[in-house]
Amino acid sequence: MIDIGSNLTSESFKNDLPEVIQRAKKQGVSAIIATGTSAESSINAQQLAANYPQYLYSTAGVHPHEADHYSDQTEKTLSELLASKGRKQIVAVGETGLDYYRNFSTQDNQIKAFESQIQLAKDAQLPLFLHEREAFKDFYSIIKAHCHSLTNKAVVHCFTGNQEALKAYLDLGLYIGITGWISDKKRGENLRQIIRYAPLERLMIETDAPYLTPQQKGIKELLPQHRRNEPCSLKFTAEKLAECLDINYQTLIEATTKTTCDFFNLDQVTNERGFEEKAS
């Protein structure tokens, strides 16, 4: 199983990342994509990924929270990174999108940074790793205007929207990323109800660590720091999602792994057990 979004450049992983990776491997996580959330963290994520070939990959982008700091220089840094030798590890542009829940950056700046990164993804011919929270209307109209000219696919990571948004994204051909939000007692209720309307082959799984720790039995025993989520918790989200879709756990793992390898063009092949072996 593959974690398509983990914030491994976060401060909270600074001191023990090798152990975090070890724990993930032990729990059956066969690859992790480290999320870039600023120009600096995108560079760091790429360097991190280079240290764990064919296990860690990265994205390059600026989170909507950081959009107030998105300048011409930021765009240049990202575009150089995407054209560099390190490009091998970078499998998507993002995370980018709109977040009107927190509005840490102005909505105008969020839209500007979002549109700029859509262009970067087109230029680099990479998929988009998207973030949308409480911003459906603007987000949808921007991505709709561009999706016919996107050379690659796009995933709405950590989907938390309603049924209307889910249908609209699926109709545009977008993919959906599912986090531990789905096991959140209160906030995840709606997602648990509606996710069965999504075709299995459009779904991928992620932890969004260190955030969104799954709320399931056994999680406390697994995580050394209770307040910090880790990629090793991915199976909890896989289990909950399989339950909501009313399918076998192994079927879910195999399907999401295959979708992820195809979507991000990962240098891996899946065997029948859902674990990856190196392509020769």
Contacts with Zn ion by CB under 5 A lie at: 131
Smallest CA-to-CA distance from 179 within 230, 128, 247, 225 is with 230
Rounded to a whole number of angstroms, the minimum distance from the CB of residue 157 to Zn ion is: 6
Rounded to a whole number of angstroms, the minimum distance from the CB of residue 7 to Zn ion is: 9
Residue 37 or 268: the one with the smaller Cβ distance to Zn ion is: 37
Contact (Cβ atoms closer than 8 angstroms) between residue 258 and residue 274: no
Rounded to a whole number of angstroms, the minimum distance from the CB of residue 60 to Zn ion is: 15
Q: What is the DSSP secondary structure assignment for residue 202, as one 8-state letter?
A: G
Rounded to a whole number of angstroms, the minimum distance from the CB of residue 34 to Zn ion is: 13
d(CA 109, CA 125): 24
236, 261, 268 from 280: Cα distances, Å:
31, 15, 9
Burial class of residue 147, CB neighbours in 10 A (0-12, 13-18, 19+): middle
Residue 4 or 124: the one with the smaller Cβ distance to Zn ion is: 4
Residues 6 or more apart in contact with residue 136 via CB below 8 angstroms: 161, 164, 165, 168
- Nearest-CB residue for Zn ion: 131
Residue 131 or 146: the one with the smaller Cβ distance to Zn ion is: 131
Rounded to a whole number of angstroms, the minimum distance from the CB of residue 195 to Zn ion is: 18
Side chain identity, residue 192: R
Residue 90 or 156: the one with the smaller Cβ distance to Zn ion is: 156
d(CA 177, CA 197): 14
Rounded to a whole number of angstroms, the minimum distance from the CB of residue 249 to Zn ion is: 26
Residue 52 or 129: the one with the smaller Cβ distance to Zn ion is: 129
Q: What is the DSSP secondary structure assignment for residue 182, as one 8-state letter?
A: G
Residue 7 or 257: the one with the smaller Cβ distance to Zn ion is: 7
